[in-house]
Amino acid sequence: MPESPASSTRAPGRDRGDEQRGEGLSPRGKRDSVVTFDNSAANHLMALQTPGSKAKTAAPPAAAKTRGRPPATAAAKKAAPKVSAPKPVATVTLKGIFEELAAEQEMPKKHALAMAAGMVDRVTAILKNGDRVRINGLGTIEVRNRAARMGRNPATGATIQIAASKKIGFRAAKELKAAI
């Protein structure tokens, strides 16, 4: 039921838009008291301080955290040299390595590639037996057994049983670590 202007509990000179903005009358029909605060955080804390207690002051918000570095200006950012993209890493194949070795040892590439294929077959057979392969200066290749364990399906969150498996492990030699 619409209210008539005479029976309204609104203050004179106020329209309905003031009440929609949260100004005007309280639910009991009394005028809300308006409290204004100073923008300063220190003044606000001083107003809340009780006699005999120490005031807590907040750090000024003007200082931005720069992790120990001075704040950079726009001119300094423009003057800084641009970092180029990292150089793409080349992938060298076993065939390429044995071809280079064949050229250095003055032997036919065909023989070197046959040796490379034989080496891969031999290493695979050794690892199938459960033994490890140690290449001096390079490292050790071995089969590592992973026990069965419980896992979680990330899509559904359901717990699942992960079966035991075998993984190939490589441990670099001290010489290789020192060279790199």
DSSP string, 149-164: EEEE-TTT--EEEEPP
Q: What is the largest CA-CA distance in the chain?
A: 113
- Better-scored residue on pLDDT, 156 or 22: 156
* Distance between CA atoms of residues 14 and 71, nearest Å: 50
Which of 58-72, 76-90, 133-147 shows the lowest per-residue confidence on average (mean pLDDT)?
Answer: 58-72
Please name the helix (run of DSSP H) or strand (run of DSSP E) that holds residue 165, with its range, or none. Answer: strand 165-172
**74 CB contacts (<8 Å, ≥6 apart)?**
none
Report the amino acid identity of residue 98: F
Query: What residue spans in the chain does CATH classification 4.10.520.10 cover?
Result: 136-180
For residue 112, how many other CB atoms are within 10 A of its CB? 19
Tokens of 12: 């004179």
Pick the CATH number of 136-180 from 3.60.15.10, 3.40.640.10, 1.10.1060.10, 4.10.520.10: 4.10.520.10
pLDDT tens figures, 118-133: 999 999 999 999 999 9
Taken in order 137, 142, 148, 151, is the CA torsion positive or negative? positive
Distance in angstroms (rounded) separating the CA atoms of residues 36 and 39: 9
Tell me how long the chain is: 180
Which band of pLDDT confidence, cut at 50, 70 and 90, is reported for residue 114?
very high
Which residues have CB under 8 Å from 152's CB, separation 6+?
Answer: 158, 159, 160
Q: Please give the Cα distance from 116 to 99 (Å, whole number).
A: 10
User: What pLDDT was estimated at residue 141?
Assistant: 96
Q: What is the mean pLDDT of residues 17-41?
A: 49
